[in-house]
Amino acid sequence: MEDVLLSALGGHGTRSMCPPMDLGELDALTLHLQTNAIDQSTLKAYATGAHDYVRFCMLHVLPLDPTPSTLSHYIAYTSQFIASGPKYLTGVHHFLGDVYPDFNANWAHPLVTTMVCGSKKVRADPVRCKLPLHTAHLQTFLNVVWCTGSYDNFLFAVIMSCAFYGCHWMGEIVLKNDKSLFD
């Protein structure tokens, strides 16, 4: 079969054939490439999530099987303490996804996705608006440019001025939500 396939692909190959490897060496090389597929910092973050999930299951005497019920309980529990609890599921998936093939389906279950959305809304950081930029700020930028003579400071002042006036001009070309315009 291999000869038929190779001949259909254009002969027995124009590339030089590499010598075969011992299956033990090939397994070791495969493991090496798999463990280096992600950065060490990412692996540490994933390990934290998996560790946390295992401790949660042990603490609450739950099986490790990531059912929708277990995952939603895990999210509810971690959301009391940290805002990134749902993100830990990525680490749990990295280590347990192969062991539990239904992990993706359970993660996408409406119960789990609802819990993730609720966790994000409850633990969300409040919106903090910055103070508006005024023309006096632009003048301050220009004063700094005159004092320092720095090209970078001058470039920053020019960019800020263009953005400032560009944003103000955008307000001029936007239609207001006046219902009388649509009658």
**Using one digit for the tens of pLDDT, what is the confidence trace for 66-124?**
999 999 999 999 888 887 778 888 888 888 888 899 999 999 999 999 998 888 888 77
Q: Is 169 exposed, middle or buried (0-12, 13-18, 19+ CB in 10 A)?
A: exposed
Exposed (0-12), middle (13-18) or buried (19+): which is 36, by Cβ within 10 Å? exposed
173 pLDDT higher than 70: no
Using alpha carbons, select from 75, 144, 71 the residue that is nearest to residue 105: 71
Per-residue pLDDT tens for 134-150? 889 889 989 999 999 89
pLDDT at 163: 87
1: part of which helix (H) or strand (E)?
Answer: none
Annotated domain spans of the chain: 38-122, 135-174
Please report which residue ranges of the chain form alpha helices under DSSP H. Answer: 2-8, 23-35, 40-59, 68-79, 88-96, 103-107, 110-122, 135-148, 151-173
Distance CA 179, CA 176 (A): 9
According to DSSP, residue 14 is labeled S
pLDDT the model gives residue 24: 92
The pLDDT of residue 13: 53
C-alpha 124 chain-centroid distance: 16
**Cα–Cα distance for residue pair 39/15, rounded to 1 Å:** 33
Tell me the two tokens of residue 22.
């011992």
Is the pLDDT at 14 greater than 60? The verdict is no
pLDDT reported for residue 11 = 63
Quick one: pLDDT band at residue 10, thresholds 50, 70, 90? confident
CA atoms within 13 A on the CB side of 66: 28
Reference 46, options 4, 102, 96; nearest CA is 96
